[in-house]
């Protein structure tokens, strides 16, 4: 009988922790993971929490762990912030095979002076950071937040 309760507690623990990053109460779990047709609000802040810009991500394509689409900047708080001018409205992204970490390149056509989003999708929230890369590597970073808006078919 002790073995039964031990195995049951392990099973329940695994089930509980496997649902910690997604909403397991819904049949639409995949809608939180950058599904095609999904739209997501995002906000970039500097490392002190001062807002830089807000926008909307539109996921157009997804095959396994690779995604692409477009985004639009809907509000500027600091239009002169370095690196912002390289954000051109298209993105490519990959999701980690190990967890739900996403790396989203805001301008895949260039390699210098680019903004990269690195975040986790937790239920319907985007939580992570953005960083600016140049040929010298990472030179600036800040806070990235957001949330799921809707899934269009």
Q: How confident is the model at residue 14, as a pLDDT?
A: 46
Query: Under a CB-based contact definition with an 8 Å cutoff, are residues 85 and 98 in contact?
Result: no
Q: How confident is the model at residue 48, as a pLDDT?
A: 96
Spatial CA neighbour of 121 closest among 144, 149, 151, 101: 101
Read off the pLDDT of residues 5-52 as tens digits, 9 standing for 90 and up: 444 455 445 444 444 444 444 444 444 467 889 999 999 999 999 999
Rg for the chain, CA atoms, rounded: 18
Q: How confident is the model at residue 9, as a pLDDT?
A: 54
Domains of the chain: 23-151 (2.40.128.120)
Q: How confident is the model at residue 72, as a pLDDT?
A: 97
Read off the pLDDT of residues 54-69 as tens digits, 9 standing for 90 and up: 999 999 999 988 999 9
Angstrom distance (rounded) from CA 25 to CA 51: 33
This prediction's pTM: 0.77
Residues 6+ apart with CB under 8 A from 29: 22, 23
Q: How confident is the model at residue 3, as a pLDDT?
A: 57
Query: Under a CB-based contact definition with an 8 Å cutoff, are residues 20 and 32 in contact?
Result: no
Residues 6+ apart with CB under 8 A from 39: 56, 57, 58, 59, 148, 149, 150, 151, 152
């Amino acid at each position: 009988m002790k073995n039964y309760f031990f195995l049951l507690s392990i099973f329940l623990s695994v089930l509980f922790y496997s649902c910690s990053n997604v909403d397991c109460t819904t049949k639409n779990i995949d809608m939180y993971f950058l599904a095609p047709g999904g739209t997501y609000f995002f906000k970039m802040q500097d490392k002190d929490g001062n807002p830089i810009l807000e926008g909307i991500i539109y996921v157009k394509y997804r095959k396994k762990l690779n995604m692409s689409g477009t985004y639009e900047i809907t509000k500027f708080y600091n239009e002169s912030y370095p690196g912002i001018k390289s954000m051109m409205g298209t993105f490519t992204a990959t999701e980690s095979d190990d967890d739900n970490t996403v790396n989203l390149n805001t301008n895949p056509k260039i390699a210098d002076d680019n903004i990269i989003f690195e975040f986790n999708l937790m239920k319907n929230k985007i939580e992570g950071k953005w960083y600016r890369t140049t040929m010298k590597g990472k030179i600036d970073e800040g806070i990235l937040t957001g949330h799921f808006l809707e899934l269009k078919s």
